[in-house]
Amino acid sequence: MNESKRRALVLGGTGAVGSAVLAELARAGVPSAFTYHRAEARARALESELSARPFRLDLADPAALGRLAASLETEGALPDVVIHCAAVVRPAAIFEATDDDWEATMTINARSVFQVCREFGRRLEGRGGDLVFVSALDRTQSLPVPAIFAASQGTTSALVMAAAKDLGPRGVRANVIALGLLDAGIGKELDPKLAEEYRSFSALRRLGTPEEAAKTITWIALHNTYANGKVLSANGGI
């Protein structure tokens, strides 16, 4: 596809990775919109700085993504690139985790992935496009992360790998970018000892940055033409 004719939507655009992705898309000259939930001031700043269009969206609302997709289609602004950067982490260990922790995590981190595949995948038939989902595990690593969060990431990987079989014939590619630990966002919330352990096992001996993650994510979103249904790791060599 001609990059200059593409249009993007970033879910979770006010987060550390999401805002870095929006900046990369702006540098590439790709018109973009993004969603946010509570970070109104940050959303308005990104709108002003990057000319990106904000949409307040609560992914806990099961109808929200469908309404947004339908609205964008009606006004002729349907994106052919959707990048899912939204995530929540409930840090409780398995014995302290509650059913509410499970529901909240799986709703935002996994159900919304299914909804993106369904709502945007079917609307892009004949047009083609790319759906990119940002994850934190590539299913080959055993890292000290909350079990429920790990379950949501595993669900994302399995779901996208399978959904690609339905989406591919429609000209839509779906891939997961499994990031390593970054020095911002969720990475800032980890126990410093765990961050140091991660750093010691990294081939690069450091954490990544949101800007580095964004370069990988936007490359797959804008330039990939053949990889489909894959989990691609960008983790510094763990």
Domains parsed from the chain with CATH numbers: 3-227 (3.40.50.720)
Residue 144: what pLDDT?
66
* Total-model pTM: 0.92
Whether 163 shows a pLDDT value over 90: the answer reads yes
pLDDT of residue 183: 78
User: The tokens 């369904």 sit on which residue?
Assistant: 118
Q: Which of 13-17, 79-83, 115-119, 208-212 has the lowest mean pLDDT?
A: 208-212
**What are 165-224's pLDDT values in tens digits?**
999 999 999 999 999 888 777 766 666 777 777 777 777 887 879 999 999 999 999 999
87, 111 in Cβ contact below 8 A?
Answer: no
Neighbours of 79 (CB within 10 A): 24
The C-alpha angle with vertex 66 and arms to 71 and 232, in degrees rounded to 5, equals: 110
Q: Distance (Å, rounded) from C-alpha 197 to C-alpha 144?
A: 10
- Tens-place pLDDT, residues 127-162: 999 999 999 865 555 566 788 988 999 999 999 999
The per-residue pLDDT for 1 is 46
* pLDDT tens digits for range 77-111: 999 999 999 998 887 888 999 999 999 999 999 99
